[in-house]
Amino acid sequence: MKELTVIGGGLAGTEAAWQAAELGVPVRLYEMRPGTPTPAHDTPWLAELVCSNSLGSDLPHKAPGLLKAELRGLGSLILDCAAQTAVPAGSSLAVDREAFAQLVTERIAAHPLITLVHEEVTALPDGPTVVATGPLTSPALAEVIAGLSGRDYLYFYDAVSPIVQAETVDMAIAFRQSRYDRGEQEEGDYINCPMTREEYEAFTDALLAAETIVLKQFEREDPHFFEGCMPVEALARRGREALAFGPMRPVGLIDPRTGQRPYAVVQLRQDNLIGTLYNLVGFQTNLKWPDQKRVLRLIPGLAQAEFVRYGMMHRNTYVNAPALLQPTLQYRNRADLFFAGQIVGVEGYVGNAGTGLLAGVNAARLLTGGHPLILPPATMLGALCHYVTHAAAKEFQPMKANFGILPPLPPRPGKQDNGRLYADRALTALRRFAREHGLRYDQDNAHAKTQSTPSS
């Protein structure tokens, strides 16, 4: 049987290699560390967690918890190793970072079908391949990927605007309209949050006083970093009117409540096809998350807004997945080339392991005469893969697990626990899908909670 090459021994690459090997496919896994370091990793171990040791909420009715349940059911190596190295963290899953990475490394090294090679890959192999080189893909390979996809389809940093759940915007204050009524939808493509002069002044003061994240040295030195995209607080520091003449300019908009042009406007643009998520246009920011929530909730109409993603800016190499990839994680122009992990525009340790899992399974299916799978969009992993391959290619930005990317639930009378309903629907869909497609799925494991597992 042909060998599968996996490039990158992070969360996605180790999971991909493991899944393919478990399906009987020989794998050659390349990891460039420790010989070739990255600016953020410190150890020679595979699956090193470069920052927080938390893998996020483990409550099954929260979006990150649902994703974990799905991956446990699908036999994830990363979640198994996390369970064995868990440390107490309330309702979250956190691990002893060293023990976790060492355990993943041991499991990979001991697998009879995996050959681990510590070498930087600087060209894409011809045969079946999974690229999982992460946000800090080595410059040589990034050049090769840019050559394959076109430079415009490879990004080097994230300048992410916050995203809110549409149903939490107060539409008694905000209004739908496109500038000069030039939108595609009759009622207007944008949701506009209007400000009076006093509200604008108060908002600017709060923005200027808020705490920002300190950039890493390598990010400050990266020539790609601020190119063409300035954080909103940096713009505000240029002058009191900079925002009102920039991303908050009100031209072409009339507030239906006053019949007047507002002094300033924050525009929200639809972020997913089903219209449950909206991003704040031009609001990429480095504010710390608690300050971000506090300051953004000063925007009229957003006082109760729920943020599914906060704004941020950091070094991040990722491809334009909507233009280049299929929801199977195959490259559109080469069926035996898969991408997985942060490089496809998924955020979060577990989401990255999840895309690795799917890429590994799909690569193995391709090599063993089966067809690659598209997971049901009602599952969190399926929704993530769907989102990154169907978002608007022109403004593509990475996404993490959240309920806003799932198909909406049917309307029901009374107040319901949506999280539980989403989770039940997802796990039922995954179980059925696995049965239909001969995919390994262990329902008992899906429901196993990591917190009840003793740490070793």
Ligand X SMILES: Cc1cc2nc3c(=O)[nH]c(=O)nc-3n(C[C@H](O)[C@H](O)[C@H](O)COP(=O)(O)OP(=O)(O)OC[C@H]3O[C@@H](n4cnc5c(N)ncnc54)[C@H](O)[C@@H]3O)c2cc1C
Residue ranges binding ligand X (CB under 6 A)? 7-13, 30-33, 38, 40-41, 50-52, 120-121, 132-138, 141, 216, 315, 341-343, 348-349, 352
Residue 328, CB half-sphere, CA atoms under 13 Å: how many? 19
Query: To the nearest whole angstrom, how small is the minimum distance from the Cβ of residue 398 to ligand X?
Result: 9
Q: What is the CA radius of gyration of the chain?
A: 22
The helix (H) or strand (E) run that includes residue 97 is: helix 97-110
- 7 forms beta bridges with 30, 131
Query: To the nearest whole angstrom, how small is the minimum distance from the Cβ of residue 48 to ligand X?
Result: 6
Residue 70, CB half-sphere, CA atoms under 13 Å: how many? 37
261 neighbors 253 (Cβ within 8 angstroms): yes
Query: To the nearest whole angstrom, how small is the minimum distance from the Cβ of residue 320 to ligand X?
Result: 16
Q: How far apart are CA 452 and CA 448, in angstroms?
A: 8
Query: To the nearest whole angstrom, how small is the minimum distance from the Cβ of residue 443 to ligand X?
Result: 26
Structure tokens at 154: 């490879």
Q: Checking DSSP bridges between strand 307-309 and strand 264-270, what pairing results, if any?
A: unpaired
Query: To the nearest whole angstrom, how small is the minimum distance from the Cβ of residue 64 to ligand X?
Result: 9
Query: To the nearest whole angstrom, how small is the minimum distance from the Cβ of residue 289 to ligand X?
Result: 12
Instruction: Give me the helices (H) in 289-328, please.
Output: 289-296, 321-324
- To 5 degrees, how large is the angle CA 455–CA 68–CA 364? 105
CA distances 341 to 289, 354, 390, 400, Å, are: 24, 8, 17, 11
Minimum CB distance to ligand X smaller for 30 or for 387? 30
Query: To the nearest whole angstrom, how small is the minimum distance from the Cβ of residue 353 to ligand X?
Result: 7
Minimum CB distance to ligand X smaller for 12 or for 384? 12
Minimum CB distance to ligand X smaller for 151 or for 415? 151
Minimum CB distance to ligand X smaller for 41 or for 425? 41
CA distances 256 to 181, 192, 211, 260, Å, are: 13, 11, 35, 8
Q: How far apart are CA 10 and CA 45, in angstroms?
A: 9
Minimum CB distance to ligand X smaller for 24 or for 39? 39
- Using CB positions, name the residue nearest to ligand X: 10
Minimum CB distance to ligand X smaller for 328 or for 342? 342
Structure tokens at 182: 């030039």
Q: How far apart are CA 357 and CA 75, in angstroms?
A: 9
Query: To the nearest whole angstrom, how small is the minimum distance from the Cβ of residue 190 to ligand X?
Result: 31
Q: Checking DSSP bridges between strand 4-7 and strand 330-331, what pairing results, if any?
A: unpaired
Minimum CB distance to ligand X smaller for 265 or for 363? 363
Minimum CB distance to ligand X smaller for 302 or for 324? 324
Minimum CB distance to ligand X smaller for 32 or for 266? 32
Q: How far apart are CA 355 and CA 360, in angstroms?
A: 8
Query: To the nearest whole angstrom, how small is the minimum distance from the Cβ of residue 316 to ligand X?
Result: 7
